[in-house]
Amino acid sequence: MRRVPVALLRPGMKVGRALYSSREELLLNAGTILTARNIERLKTLKIPALYVDDGFLGDVAVDDVITGEIRIRAIAQVRELMQEQDAPSMGVGRAILKVRQITETVENIIDQLLANRSLVVNLVDIRAIDDYTFGHCVNVCVLSLLTGITLGYNREKLLRLGMGAILHDIGKAAVPGEILNKAGRLTEEEFIIIKQHPEQGYRTVLKMPGISPASAQVVYQHHERYNGSGYPLGLKEREVHEFAYICGVADVFDALTADRVYRKACPVHEAYEMVAGSGNHLFDFRVVKAFLENIAAYPVGTWVRLSTGEIGLVTENRRGYPLYPRVRVFFDGSGSPVEPFELSLGEHREVAIDGVVEEGVVFSDIISLVDSRKKINFP
């Protein structure tokens, strides 16, 4: 299974991973053979990519750190809470119910993460560009909890961290959609409005029954930075709650690796490098280190060029070896297709990854290239 940008999808490709909307509707089931109409629909819905099973990695499964079921439920709950919180119908009783549901979901996420401790994050979550915020909240929750587990937090601490992280952007419900999803540059006034969301969110969660003070601080402080350059208070170093640093790193990483209205997603290895360089500058060093232990710098399905010149697809990542995945080689050093073979970079330290090859930039139609055994000509 590998992630293919929608622009490169072709009729006849097989869907590798089910795709849902933020309203829990199934858009495409795993195993569906794509038609031209399916592909058009994805474009209309502004879905940036899809996981497909093709001849390259049809035999390789990519496990998410939590089940699709719980992820979809969590996204729908966050969407409901954000869309209803200011509505007159949201009485205290309903607020209690919503918070209870989300708490249960976060507890389930914690159970699954604790049961799957050997997995690293290999999947880039796919969401419609307009639904960005809801999927983002869930992803930030998952990434924050993974970091908390690596730091040795107990369940109680994990629940407080996870609740703060899943609610961290709840203040964005008060920001008009046209500012949140604006394609162009924000004006100074618009930026001032966006910057109010931590405080706005903090005020909202203080009114919610059953939210701990530590969770509320995550909402308030997730844009504070180690060197004091953040907002709203400009806190620095030890003044910032550790949970807020955790949520802040997860927030930056997830925002970088997602397609946004105003820019395309940044490749995971570049986001990995950026986060790796932020210790004791933007975030607490210990937190950055713990976060990165859970991330595969080259997720399964990434086309990489090796130091030998060979080109292949990443098939496996092992915890503790973020820069040394297993690679299935398809092209030799001169760009000619070869009988595929696998190389574990963890066992071949003389070979390194030289760079990522972006499908669509270097080879517009990789399948026909391999089928016709044509050579790749690099620009």
Cα angle 34, 39, 43 (rounded to 5 degrees) comes to 155
28 versus 275: smaller Cβ distance to Fe ion: 275
- Please give the Cα distance from 66 to 126 (Å, whole number): 14
Q: Which two tokens stand for residue 341?
A: 């073979």
| Tally of CB atoms within 10 A around 177 | 10
**CA dihedral of residues 331, 337, 342, 345 (deg, nearest 10):** -10
- Please give the Cα distance from 83 to 178 (Å, whole number): 15
13 versus 271: smaller Cβ distance to Fe ion: 271
Closest distance to Fe ion from the beta carbon of 246 (Å): 14
9 versus 216: smaller Cβ distance to Fe ion: 216
Closest distance to Fe ion from the beta carbon of 198 (Å): 6
Binding mask of the shown chain, residues 136 to 165, with x at each position contacting Fe ion by CB under 5 A? ------------------------------
Which of helix, strand or coil describes residue 353? strand
Closest distance to Fe ion from the beta carbon of 169 (Å): 5
For Fe ion, the binding residues in 87-126 under the rule CB under 5 A are none
Closest distance to Fe ion from the beta carbon of 186 (Å): 14
199 versus 270: smaller Cβ distance to Fe ion: 199
- Please give the Cα distance from 51 to 345 (Å, whole number): 24
Closest distance to Fe ion from the beta carbon of 234 (Å): 16
- Please give the Cα distance from 111 to 101 (Å, whole number): 15
Binding mask of the shown chain, residues 161 to 180, with x at each position contacting Fe ion by CB under 5 A? --------x-----------
φ/ψ of residue 326, rounded to 5: -95, 135
259 versus 359: smaller Cβ distance to Fe ion: 259
Q: What's the gap between Cα 127 and its chain centre? A: 10
Which of helix, strand or coil describes residue 331? strand
169 versus 284: smaller Cβ distance to Fe ion: 169
Closest distance to Fe ion from the beta carbon of 248 (Å): 9
Determine, following the binding rule CB under 5 A, whether residue 284 of this chain makes contact with Fe ion.
no
φ/ψ of residue 301, rounded to 5: 100, 0
Number of residues in contact with Fe ion under rule CB under 5 A: 1
Backbone angle region of 123, left / alpha / beta, with phi > 0 → left and psi within -120 to 50 → alpha: beta
376 burial (CB, 10 Å; 0-12 / 13-18 / 19+) is middle
For Fe ion, the binding residues in 242-271 under the rule CB under 5 A are none
Closest distance to Fe ion from the beta carbon of 143 (Å): 14
169 versus 259: smaller Cβ distance to Fe ion: 169
Binding positions for Fe ion, rule: CB under 5 A = 169
